[in-house]
């Protein structure tokens, strides 16, 4: 843009001169951490006392590893229904997808014995997630110097931090060649299904020496993970992070619900307004858009989401990522809408595209 400024002379007087001044922006520095935490929305959907025997029968007749002579003893054994739910998940996690029957899981596949209802299925998933949480939970603030350690600890399902700077054209649009990335972290945490570490011998009292199944594989990163994008009209720019649970978790969901696992994502967007001001908005799974301390679109998030903004303490010069007011979006009550965000029978689910195109 053009500006004017006076130039003074030693003998007195001054004259105005015109000059060209570039207008540029360094966007706000946002950090998003999504975690699995314990929830209780489906506690009431657990099998009742009367439903326990049919529920356990369905699971024991769904798992080919359980010897036929062991089934009746296992059904009647004093193990919790939650343990049965985890064993079901562990078995289908290690089964090749081509050999996994499509759900929804309602009875054992061997001879159709037992009963698992729709509420039971959501309770089963909640049970598995509650046994596989990220710990510790994200704090209210994180020092910028501690961020690399937070990334390395991998106690999250997605961690996304993005900041960029750019200048504006004479038309008030983003000068695309002048975009400079200040920082871009797009990390997908590892798959955690703790049912996979049930010790061998847990069920030896009923004649089944269940195997040690080992650690879960890595999560699946989206091909768009860490992608940066500028809109065609040059008014928006964003950084994108996305991934989902690994192949084992995808297979469990296929057996239990008959559909693939959804992708999770975070997109930090900066928008240039007609007055050349810039504002930020964060889009995140399932359908949330968050801006300036409030949800402005959507009603469903999946992970426990923590939204931070880098804040400088002027007295000390220390920069902290401070969780914003209303920047904690709780996971409770969100398991069901998350799973249902993928149509039944879909396999595989295409990766989610960034909002900015």
Inside any domain, residue 269: yes
Give the DSSP letter of residue 227. -
Inside any domain, residue 145: yes
pLDDT of residue 93: 87
Inside any domain, residue 127: no
Do 70 and 119 contact (CB within 8 A), yes or no?
Answer: no
Residue 276's CB is within 10 A of a number of other CB atoms, namely: 13
Q: Which residues pair with 236 in a beta bridge?
A: 271
Inside any domain, residue 203: no
Both tokens assigned to 235: 């008014």
pLDDT of residue 204: 87
Q: Where are the alpha helices (DSSP H) in the chain?
A: 49-60, 71-76, 81-93, 118-130, 147-153, 247-257, 335-339
pLDDT of residue 105: 97
Inside any domain, residue 212: no
| Domain span at 260 | 24-38+140-192+219-339
The total domain count for the chain is 1
pLDDT of residue 78: 87
CA distance 232 to 327: 30
pLDDT of residue 199: 73
pTM for the full predicted model: 0.90
Residues with Cβ < 8 Å from 11, sequence gap 6 or more? none
pLDDT of residue 316: 78
Total residue length of the chain: 357
Minimal CA–CA distance to 92: which of 69, 129, 59? Answer: 59
pLDDT of residue 153: 95
Inside any domain, residue 253: yes
Inside any domain, residue 152: yes
Mean pLDDT, contiguous 10-residue spans, the chain (357 residues): 52 58 82 97 97 96 90 91 91 90 93 95 95 94 96 96 95 95 96 69 84 72 97 98 94 95 97 94 97 95 96 85 95 96 91 96
Inside any domain, residue 77: no
């Amino acid at each position: 843009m053009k500006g004017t400024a006076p130039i003074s002379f030693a003998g007195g007087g001054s004259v105005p001169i015109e000059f060209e001044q570039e207008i540029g922006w360094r966007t706000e520095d946002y950090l998003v951490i999504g975690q699995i935490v314990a929830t209780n929305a489906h506690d009431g959907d657990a099998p009742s006392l009367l439903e326990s025997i049919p529920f356990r029968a369905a699971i024991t007749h769904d798992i080919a590893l359980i010897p036929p002579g062991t089934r009746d003893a296992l059904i009647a054994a004093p193990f919790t229904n939650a343990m049965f739910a985890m064993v079901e998940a562990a078995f289908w996690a290690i089964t090749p997808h081509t050999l996994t029957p499509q759900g929804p899981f309602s009875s054992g596949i061997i001879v159709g014995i037992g009963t698992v209802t729709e509420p039971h299925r959501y309770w089963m998933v909640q049970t598995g997630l509650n046994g596989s949480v990220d710990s510790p939970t994200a704090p209210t603030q994180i020092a910028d110097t501690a961020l690399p350690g937070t990334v390395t600890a991998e106690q999250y399902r997605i961690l996304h931090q993005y900041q960029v700077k750019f200048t504006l054209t004479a038309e008030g649009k983003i000068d695309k060649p002048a975009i400079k990335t200040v920082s871009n972290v797009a990390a997908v945490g590892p798959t955690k299904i703790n049912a996979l570490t049930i010790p061998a011998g847990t069920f030896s009292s009923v004649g089944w020496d269940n195997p040690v199944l080992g650690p879960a594989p890595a999560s699946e990163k989206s091909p768009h993970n860490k992608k940066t994008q500028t809109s065609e009209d040059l008014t928006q720019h964003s950084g994108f992070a996305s991934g989902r649970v690994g192949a084992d978790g995808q297979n469990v969901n296929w057996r239990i619900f008959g559909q693939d696992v959804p992708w999770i994502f975070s997109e930090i967007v900066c928008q240039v307004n007609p007055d050349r001001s810039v504002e930020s908005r964060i889009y995140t799974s399932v359908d949330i858009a968050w801006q300036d301390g409030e949800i402005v679109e959507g009603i469903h998030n999946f992970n426990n989401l923590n939204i931070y903004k880098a804040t400088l303490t002027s007295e000390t010069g220390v920069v902290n990522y401070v969780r914003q007011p209303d920047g904690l979006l709780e996971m409770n009550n969100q398991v069901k809408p998350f799973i249902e965000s993928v149509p039944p029978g879909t396999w595989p689910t295409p990766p989610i595209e960034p909002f900015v195109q």
